[in-house]
Amino acid sequence: MRLSVIGCGYLGAVHAAAMASIGHDVVGIDVDEQKVAALSAGTAPFFEPKLAELLQAGLASGRLRFSTRMADAAGAGVHFLAVGTPQLAGGHAADLRFVHAAVDDLVPHLRPGDVLAGKSTVPVGTASGISARIAPTGAVLAWNPEFLREGWAVHDTLAPDRIVVGVSSGESGERAAEILREVYRPAVEAGAPFLVTDPATAELVKGAANAFLATKISFINAMAEIAEAAGADVTLLADAIGHDTRIGRRYLGSGIGFGGGCLPKDIRAFAARAEELGRGESVGFLHEVDAINLRRRDRAVQIVVDALGGLVFGKRVAVLGAAFKPFSDDIRDSPAIDVAVRLRGLGADVVVTDPAAIDNARAVHPQLGYERDRDEALRGAHAVVVVTEWDEYRRHLSPEHAGALVSARVVVDGRNCLDAAAWRAAGWAYHGMGRR
């Protein structure tokens, strides 16, 4: 099937490459000439495992190409809308200008029977407005939210845990749903649930899923605050309640909280839209979820200060991690960078290392020190702070090896990902988040 993907950022580039890999003829459209040039050369403009290989294979097969011309989307039977929806400047709502501009640019190239499949994360009610915009063309709107995890985006696109399609009632909506079922046929045949809803429900699914995940993460971080005050261990607490099948252990890892370009801004936009609908009280708890998340960054900095005797000025602090999560080079709203910047503001000699995100971090925060080599970052450090749980730090860094490099054996485990007993046995003063 011939497809277009409008917007080739993180979501769109992965989606275009993945769709080409399962046999579709795909054109990706983006206004950023540099991005299009990189993608056309088979180079991923961001770090995502397996994406470069998928791009190169798609380009070599002739099934994948990229363009800056919206006219090149003409003739596709399905157009995926994957444009970003950043947080509105000066507020919490989503900025939909780019979505609406992309739709308006696409309208002249739509044909009767074409399907516009929205994948952008938007406030509930957006789909109805877009549907009205494209109605004169005879094209049909379906809302098809994405559920990608950075670092696992290729896997999540090719082997999704569910596919949600929101369409209006009637023959045209049913036809759009069947067309998308055919687009995703390999995943459906492999057992992925294919859920057909109305458009509003499909829009809500993404926001509700993110709100639930954020709530679960902030819940265990709230328990970490209590555990610290009570002398308890939040990791053992999480293990105990995680055995309850109604709760589950996943996403109950306490630490410095969540970040990235999606979860923080999406839960704020979700709450903002609820307020617009007159139901702000229904998600009022999300404001506290956000506040708890931000407090954990404060707490991590305070632990470092306390561990260094109350003064970090002039002390060398090795910060292990810059990306907001492993297997990504994304530093948007990264708790890791936030902690590093705050320590630098207190006068510490901060040296940041990361397997993938140094260039992005340096471009935004040139005031920090950077070292690509992990061991060089550790050398001479008075404190080590683990803020991104890359395997290079949690699995492949022994406390004995690290101890031979640093000036003082002080480690703050901002992700509770290290073996506390092993580090203490090696002579380290180990400090976790919500741990005794």
List the structure tokens of 356.
């993938």
Distance CA 97, CA 338 (A): 28
One of 148, 262, 283, 381 is an active-site residue; which one? Answer: 262
Q: Is 262 a catalytic residue?
A: yes
> 7-41 as b/e, with b when 16 or more CB fall inside 10 Å?
bbbbbbbbbbbbbbbeebbbbbbbbeeebbebbee
What are the Cα distances from residue 130, in Å, to 71, 103, 199? Answer: 19, 7, 11
Q: Backbone phi, then psi, for 138, in 5-degree steps?
A: 85, 0
367 burial class (0-12, 13-18, 19+ CB within 10 angstroms)? exposed
Residue with tokens 């998308």: 180
> Cβ distance 382 to 408 under 8 Å?
yes
| Cα-trace Rg, the chain | 23
> 194-210 as b/e, with b when 16 or more CB fall inside 10 Å?
bebbebeebbbbbbeeb
Active-site residue list: 262
